[in-house]
């Protein structure tokens, strides 16, 4: 490269205006000759060139908004021909900077100007600074070009050593604006120009970096999803291989779960929670315990009938017909249930909430002894409403988690019984029977009753949260029913939410009807017998109910029938019995042996419990319904026996106090009754209730204990056919008791004919079936004196005591 400065002769050149374009020295550009100004300039140059046989030369001048730049570039027309689009064009090479002078004239239609070449030499050798600048520019340019994959251009740039040329090479940069290029053009100092080009390039690269990193961020988001998708596919493939190696067939589970969750009709929140678990599952290995927990949880969630709902059949007539068809008797109970359904229907028709609840009405609680049909009535309610039925057994539940589930962190965690019930029902609006709600207890594991309260509370139960499930479950459409044997054992708070329906037990007549119409047909079918192959006469049914079983309900009766039918079926199979066969009362004994319960009155008088003075017959209500119970009293030997009052037979506190009262009454008032009360002062008294294993409580045995003691003191027997119930006060008044109907039913079962009851319970007799009242002499009394008059046999009546 020439180092010395040159002097140039003035030039006269046709101007070729460039709109929105800049050509720098060293660049070769094609120009379109259809543009009149371009064509005029080129033609003028050609005309001029012919005169001196040199290459046609033009002056390339950028023009912005009609204004020309002060410096142009000398361009030689290298070739004239066709452009790639077929239009006529000229290839022009930029040669060097020309300072534009005054306008002048020349051939053709072009504008002619005078100009002077500008000296662009640089010192040689280059000072160190400039060498550095060259290196830097080349590095940046290379960087940029490589990014664009322009490898050939990289080589070219690397080969340029001329500072001026290197700077002008920037003219090709597509990222420079026209103004920036004009700046390069007008900068006549090559070093300054290279600096400018370097800066422009650096700036662009920095901008590009930012843009790239933004683009990268965006891309990364997309990539992550794609990557995850690909990884998942790979994982799936690996799992499949593994399963094939292990000989396990089947679809990929986790994939299956995702599809199942997506396909299931879940509430939005539940779906979100489930998808989260699916993601965890996808990450967990097949064998990990976590994986198996998640699968169990997902199964539970997917099996719940989130959007299943049965349509209510609110035809009250039909409902009543179903209740009647499925249960004999129980008129008042069925009436109560019908009322309950009718109110529910009316409120639901009017879009109203419920008394104490949103939709359903209070919880109906069926209270009564075992086997009276509480559970099967619950089932009938479900039938009548056209809903699914599930039973939740609560007997013995002491752990809150039984109701509300275990937290999932527990090994072997399970959802609670309520969630399991909904799953079993397969609909969100079943009838759920909470069986034996009186048998829930509480201990250190929390209070199940409190959890039940939440389940039953209409203000809370639409967002019931099971610890295991962790997502909310709407229980507001569930109809809850409850059963209990003993009213008193139901936790108070629960009792508050319940509407009680009592089932006290059946009379013998009712049992015969139930057995004939319901139990027998069912048992015949179970024994594989045709309905007419065995006929059980009413007399046989009555004997079964009265002497083979003694219960408030019909459970044992049903068992006895089953036993009887099995016997006959077996005999028939062995060829010992022709069918059809009719069973009367007298056939029972040969088939199923002797009866277990003989009424006291049917016993040998000497073997009757009350054959000795000091034994009285009371009436009580236990978890099994009404029952007769005997009270025995004895006096200790004044010399050797214990003193004071001894009580045995698992008595509760109330009953113990009741015994104290009986004793105190006799001590203070006994003399008025002509009883030898002196014995009570000197000798210890023992009162025992046989069947010592059964816990007993309550004040209603007060008059029975008094009678037993009076019998003992007077030596008069208590009449065998008399039973009694009533609380006694210190002054000898007879106070009212509960469970009269059950007690009278029990008295009737036991063959008692005379019953002494508190006068204030007289109104309860309305509940007692007439057929029972017909067999009993009921004496309402107000005072113990009346009791003793009725119960104690005359002094001269003596049954010899059993040996």
Ligand X SMILES: Nc1ncnc2c1ncn2[C@@H]1O[C@H](COP(=O)(O)OP(=O)(O)OP(=O)(O)O)[C@@H](O)[C@H]1O
Indicate which residues carry an active-site annotation: 700, 743
Report the C-alpha gap between 22 and 19 in whole angstroms.
Answer: 8
d(CA 233, CA 226): 11
Q: Are 500 and 516 in contact (CB under 8 A)?
A: no
369 is in an annotated binding site: yes
Q: Is 701 a residue that touches ligand X (CB under 6 A)?
A: no
Q: Half-sphere exposure of residue 294, counting CA atoms within 13 Å on the CB side?
A: 23
Residue 275 near residue 261, CB atoms below 8 Å: yes
439 near ligand X, rule: CB under 6 A? no
SS3 348: helix
Tell the smallest beta-carbon distance from residue 502 to ligand X (Å).
Answer: 12
Which residue number has the CB closest to ligand X? 373
One residue of 372, 418, 473, 677 binding ligand X per CB under 6 A:
372
Which residue lies nearer to ligand X by CB, 97 or 741? 741
Binding flag, residue 327, ligand X (CB under 6 A): yes
- Which strand ranges, in their side-by-side order, compose the sheet holding 479-484? 389-393, 431-435, 479-484, 363-367, 498-502
779 lies in the binding site for ligand X (CB under 6 A)? no
Minimum distance, C-beta of residue 330 to ligand X, in the bound complex (Å):
5
* Residue with Cβ nearer ligand X (89 or 373): 373
Residue among 177 and 531 whose Cβ is closer to ligand X: 531
Per-residue CA distances from 349 to 312, 337, 345, 661 (Å) = 11, 18, 6, 57
Q: Is the separation of the CB atoms in 58 and 16 below 8 Å?
A: yes
Residue 472 CB contacts under 8 Å (≥ 6 apart), including other chains: 269, 463, 464, 465
Q: Which is nearer to ligand X, 56 or 370 (CB)?
A: 370
As a whole number of angstroms, the distance between CA 401 and CA 399 comes to 5
Residue count, binding to ligand X (CB under 6 A):
20
Residue 751 touches ligand X, criterion: CB under 6 A: no
Map 381-448 to HEC letters: HHHHHCCCEEEEECCCCCCHHHHHCCCCCCCCCCCCHHHHHHHHHCCCCCEEEEECHHHCCCECCECH
- The rounded distance, in Å, linking the Cα atoms of 318 and 381 is 11
Please give the residues from 443 up to 482 whose contact with ligand X meets the rule CB under 6 A: none
CB of 386 to ligand X, least distance (A): 20
371 labelled binding-site residue: yes
Task: Establish whether 329 is an annotated binding residue.
Answer: no
Q: Closest separation between CB of residue 433 and ligand X, Å? A: 9
Q: How far is the CB of 436 from ligand X (least distance, A)?
A: 7
- Residue 374 as a binder of ligand X (CB under 6 A): the answer is yes
Q: Which stretch binds ligand X (CB under 6 A): 147-155, 334-342, 365-373, 592-600?
A: 365-373
Q: Is 741 in the site for ligand X (CB under 6 A)?
A: no
Q: Which is nearer to ligand X, 270 or 434 (CB)?
A: 434
Question: Is 720 one of the annotated binding-site residues?
Answer: no
Query: Among residues 25, 357, 360, 371, which is the contact residue for ligand X, using CB under 6 A?
Result: 371
Q: Which candidate, 380, 346, 376, 379, places its Cα nearest to that of 360?
A: 346
Burial class (CB in 10 A: 0-12, 13-18, 19+), 366: buried
Residues 597-636, mask of contacts with ligand X (x by CB under 6 A): ----------------------------------------
Query: Does the annotation list 373 as a binding residue?
Result: yes
Least separation in angstroms between residue 517's CB and ligand X is 7
Q: Is 328 in the site for ligand X (CB under 6 A)?
A: yes
| Residue 613 labelled as part of a binding site | no
**Closer to ligand X at the Cβ: 328 or 524?**
328
Q: Of 376, 582, 601, 643, which one interacts with ligand X (CB under 6 A)?
A: 376
Give, rounded to a whole angstrom, the gap between the first and last alpha carbons of the chain.
151
330 interacts with ligand X by CB under 6 A: yes
State yes or no: 163 annotated in a binding site: no
Q: Tell me which stretch binds ligand X (CB under 6 A): 47-55, 299-307, 366-374, 438-446.
A: 366-374
DSSP assignments along 750-776, one per residue: TT--EEEEEGGGGGGGGGS-HHHHHH-
- Give the nearer residue to ligand X in terms of CB position, either 164 or 375: 375
Q: Which residues contact 413 (CB under 8 A, 6 or more apart)?
A: 293, 405, 406, 407, 468
648 has which bridge partners? 688
Q: Which helix (H) or strand (E) holds 325?
A: helix 316-326
Shortest reach from residue 506's CB to ligand X, in Å: 7
Q: Is there binding between residue 502 and ligand X (CB under 6 A)?
A: no
The CA-based diameter of the chain, rounded to the nearest angstrom, is 175
Identify the DSSP state of 736: P
Which of positions 536-595 make contact with ligand X (CB under 6 A)? Answer: 553-555, 558
In whole angstroms, how close is the CB of 343 to ligand X at the nearest point? 23
Among 422, 482, 514, 564, binds ligand X (CB under 6 A): 514
CA distance 361 to 343: 8
- Which residue from 370, 649, 670, 726 is in contact with ligand X, where contact means CB under 6 A? 370
| 247 marked ligand binding residue | no
Q: Is the separation of the CB atoms in 36 and 140 below 8 Å?
A: no
Give 328 or 710: the residue with its C-beta nearer to ligand X: 328
Positions that interact with ligand X (CB under 6 A): 327-330, 370-376, 435, 483, 485, 514, 518, 553-555, 558
**Which positions make up the binding site for ATP?**
368-375
**Which positions make up the binding site?**
368-375
């Amino acid at each position: 490269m020439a180092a010395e400065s040159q002097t140039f002769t003035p030039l006269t050149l046709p101007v070729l205006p460039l709109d929105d374009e800049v050509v720098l020295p060293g660049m070769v550009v094609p120009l379109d000759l259809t543009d009149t100004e371009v064509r005029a300039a080129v033609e003028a140059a050609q005309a001029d060139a012919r005169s001196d046989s040199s290459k046609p030369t033009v002056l390339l001048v950028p023009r912005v908004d009609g204004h020309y730049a002060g410096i142009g570039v000398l361009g030689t027309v290298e070739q004239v021909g066709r452009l790639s689009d077929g239009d006529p064009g000229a290839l022009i090479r930029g040669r060097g900077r020309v300072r534009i002078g005054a306008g002048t004239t020349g051939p053709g239609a072009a504008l002619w100007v005078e100009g002077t070449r500008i000296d662009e030499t640089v010192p040689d050798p280059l000072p160190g600074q400039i060498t550095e600048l060259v290196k830097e520019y080349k590095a940046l340019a290379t960087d940029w070009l490589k990014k664009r994959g322009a490898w050939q251009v990289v080589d070219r740039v690397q080969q340029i050593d001329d500072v001026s040329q290197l700077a002008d090479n920037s003219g090709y940069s597509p990222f420079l604006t026209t103004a920036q290029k004009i700046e390069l053009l007008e900068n006549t100092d090559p070093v300054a120009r290279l600096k400018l080009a370097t800066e422009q390039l650096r700036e662009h690269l920095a901008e590009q970096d930012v843009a790239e990193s933004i683009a990268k961020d965006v891309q990364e988001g997309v990539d992550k999803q794609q990557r995850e998708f690909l990884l998942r596919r790979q994982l799936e493939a690996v799992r499949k291989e593994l399963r094939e190696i292990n000989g396990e067939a089947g679809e990929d589970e986790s994939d299956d779960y995702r599809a199942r969750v997506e396909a299931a009709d879940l509430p939005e929140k539940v779906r979100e929670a489930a998808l989260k678990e699916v993601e965890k599952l996808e990450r967990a290995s097949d064998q990990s315990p976590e994986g198996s927990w998640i699968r169990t949880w997902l199964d539970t969630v997917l099996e719940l009938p989130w959007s299943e709902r049965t349509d209510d059949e609110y035809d009250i007539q039909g409902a009543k017909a179903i209740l009647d068809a499925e249960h004999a008797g129980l008129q008042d109970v069925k009436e109560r249930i019908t009322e309950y359904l009718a109110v529910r229907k009316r409120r639901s028709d009017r879009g109203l909430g419920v008394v104490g609840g949103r939709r359903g009405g209070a919880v109906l609680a069926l209270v009564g002894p075992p086997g009276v049909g509480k559970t099967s009535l619950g089932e009938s309610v479900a039938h009548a409403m056209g809903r699914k039925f599930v039973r939740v057994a609560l007997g013995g539940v002491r752990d809150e988690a039984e109701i509300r589930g275990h937290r999932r962190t527990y090994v072997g965690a399970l959802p609670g019984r309520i969630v399991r019930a909904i799953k079993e029902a397969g609909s969100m609006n079943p009838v759920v029977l909470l069986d034996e709600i009186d048998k829930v207890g509480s201990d250190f594991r929390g209070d199940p009753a409190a959890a039940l309260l939440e389940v039953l509370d209409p203000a809370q139960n639409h967002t019931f949260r099971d610890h295991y499930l962790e997502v909310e479950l709407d229980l507001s459409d569930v109809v809850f029913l409850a059963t209990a044997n003993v009213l008193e054992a139901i936790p108070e708070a629960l009792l508050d939410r319940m509407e009680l329906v009592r089932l006290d037990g059946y009379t013998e007549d009712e049992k015969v009807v139930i057995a004939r119409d319901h139990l027998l047909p069912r048992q015949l079918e179970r024994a594989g017998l045709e309905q007419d192959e065995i006929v059980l006469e009413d007399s046989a049914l009555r004997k079964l109910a009265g002497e083979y079983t003694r219960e408030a309900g019909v459970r044992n009766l049903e068992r006895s029938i089953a036993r009887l039918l099995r016997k006959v079926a077996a005999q028939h199979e062995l060829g010992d019995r022709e069918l059809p066969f009719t069973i009367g009362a007298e056939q029972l004994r040969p088939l199923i042996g002797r009866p277990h319960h003989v009424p006291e009155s049917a016993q040998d008088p000497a073997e009757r419990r009350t054959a000795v003075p000091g034994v009285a017959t009371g009436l009580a209500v236990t978890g099994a319904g009404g029952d007769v119970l005997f009270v025995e009293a004895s006096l200790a030997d004044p010399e050797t026996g214990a003193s004071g009052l001894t009580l045995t037979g698992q008595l509760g506190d109330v009953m113990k106090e009741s015994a104290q009262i009986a004793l105190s009454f006799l001590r203070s008032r006994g003399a008025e009754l002509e009883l030898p009360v002196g014995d009570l002062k000197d000798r210890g008294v023992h009162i025992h209730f046989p069947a010592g294993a059964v816990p007993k409580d309550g004040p209603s045995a007060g008059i029975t204990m008094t009678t037993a003691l009076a019998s003992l003191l007077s030596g008069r027997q208590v009449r065998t056919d008399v039973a009694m119930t009533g609380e006694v006060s210190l002054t000898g008044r007879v106070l009212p008791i509960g469970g009269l109907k059950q007690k009278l039913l029990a008295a009737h079962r036991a063959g008692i004919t005379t019953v002494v009851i508190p006068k204030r319970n007289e109104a309860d007799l309305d509940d007692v079936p007439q057929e029972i009242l017909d067999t009993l002499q009921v004496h309402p009394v107000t005072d113990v004196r009346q009791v003793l008059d009725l119960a104690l046999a005359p002094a001269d009546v003596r049954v010899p005591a059993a040996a």
